[in-house]
Amino acid sequence: MVACPRVYVSIGSNIDQQRNILACLDALAEHFGELQLSSVYESEAVGFGGDNFFNLVAGFDCALSVGELSTVLRQIENDNGRRRDGPRFSSRTLDIDILTYDNICGVEDGISLPRDEIVENAFVLWPLAEIAGDEVHPAVGKTYAQLWNDYAKAEQKLWPVDFAWRGKVISEQVS
C-alpha cells in the first residue's frame, strides 16, 4: 500500500470564528479522516483593519492531487459563506490555504508550494511548528521549529485561545 502525501493547511477566520472553524474541521474530517491539529491562536488582522482572527494548522494524509485538494478546500470555504468579491486583504468567514503538500517545491496545478506565508506570518509558522516542528521546510532547508525559533516574534502578536472540537480541548488560553 502506497502512503498518501502529507498535507498541511492553514485555517483562519475573523467572522464568527468559533462556528466557522468548527464547521471547517468537521468538513475536513469528513473528507480526509483523522486530523492533526495545532492550537488555535488569536491575532490581529494583518494587512488591513478588521476583527481579530482565529488561526490554526491542520495536517492530514490526502490522496487527491493539489488541484483536486484546492477545489475541495475552496468548496468548504464557499459552504461557509466565503465572499470573493471584496479586497484581497479583508475580513473572512473562512480562509483555508495549502501550506505544504509532501515535499513539493514549485508550482503544482497553479499553486505555489510551499506557501510563502509559512516564513512570513507568525499565525502560520507557530501552529505549523507546533505540530510539525521536526519536519524540514522543503525550500528553506530548516525545520519549522528552527524557523519559529529564529522568527522575529515581536512583529506579530498572537496568543492561544480556549477551543474545543468534538469534545476534545485543542487549545487553552494562557493566563
Q: Residue 32: which CATH number?
A: 3.30.70.560
Report how far residue 54's alpha carbon sits from residue 46's, in angstroms, rounded to the nearest whole number. 12
Q: What is the pLDDT of residues 76-129, one digit of tens each?
A: 998 877 665 665 555 778 999 999 999 999 999 999 999 999 999 999 999 999
Q: Is residue 98 part of a domain?
A: yes
Q: Is residue 114 part of a domain?
A: yes
Distances (CA, A) of 58 to 35, 79, 155: 6, 19, 24
Number of domains making up the chain: 1
With a pLDDT cut of 90, the percent of the chain lying above it is: 78
Q: Is residue 175 part of a domain?
A: no
Contact 41, 5 (CB under 8 A): no
Q: Is residue 1 part of a domain?
A: no
Q: Is residue 49 part of a domain?
A: yes
Range of the structural domain that residue 113 is part of: 6-170
Planar angle of CA 141, 145, 150, nearest 5 degrees: 80
As given in the structure block, the three cell numbers for residue 85 are: 468579491
pLDDT surpassing 90 at residue 5: yes
Peptide bond into 5 cis (omega under 30): no
Report how far residue 156's alpha carbon sits from residue 46's, in angstroms, rounded to the nearest whole number. 8
Q: Nearest Cα to 27, choosing from 55, 58, 49?
A: 58
Report how far residue 146's alpha carbon sits from residue 13's, in angstroms, rounded to the nearest whole number. 27
- Please tell me the pTM assigned to this model: 0.93
Amino acid at 143: T
Contact 53, 123 (CB under 8 A): yes
With a pLDDT cut of 70, the percent of the chain lying above it is: 91
Q: Is residue 130 part of a domain?
A: yes
Q: Is residue 63 part of a domain?
A: yes
